[in-house]
Amino acid sequence: MSRKFTPKVVTANALLEGDVVYLTADDRWTRDHTEAELIEDEAHAQVRLVDASSRADEVVGAYLADAKPGEDGPEPVHFREVFRTRGPSNYAHGKQETV
């Protein structure tokens, strides 16, 4: 028996900067997880992932990450994805400067 599909967001790393980015419903890349498109249909998620993976001039390493609906938009489910929303951890810079 297959598992029930859980909501996802498409995430990758920006090709030039290396920042974590998320695909929005209007086909933009954003660095803000809450702006990501929350995908609740497995077939649509696969189509969006294929599209994201074909944009090699913009991003690398696209994949589907579990997410859940939140007050301000999608929220990460797994600790790895929570960590990725905060940016690099080697010293306070980028996203971590504002936290």
User: Which tens digit of pLDDT belongs to each residue from 50-78?
Assistant: 999 999 999 999 999 999 999 999 999 99
Tell me if residue 57 falls in helix, strand or coil. Answer: coil
**Residue 67: closest CA among 56, 75, 79:** 75
Amino acid in the structure at residue 66: D
Tell me the backbone φ, ψ of residue 43, rounded to 5 degrees: -65, -40
pLDDT digits (tens, 9 = 90+) for 22-38: 999 999 999 999 999 99
Instruction: Tell me how far apart the alpha carbons of residues 84 and 21 are, in angstroms, rounded to a whole number.
Output: 9
Task: Supply 38's token pair.
Answer: 């929350």
pTM of the predicted model, to two decimals?
A: 0.84
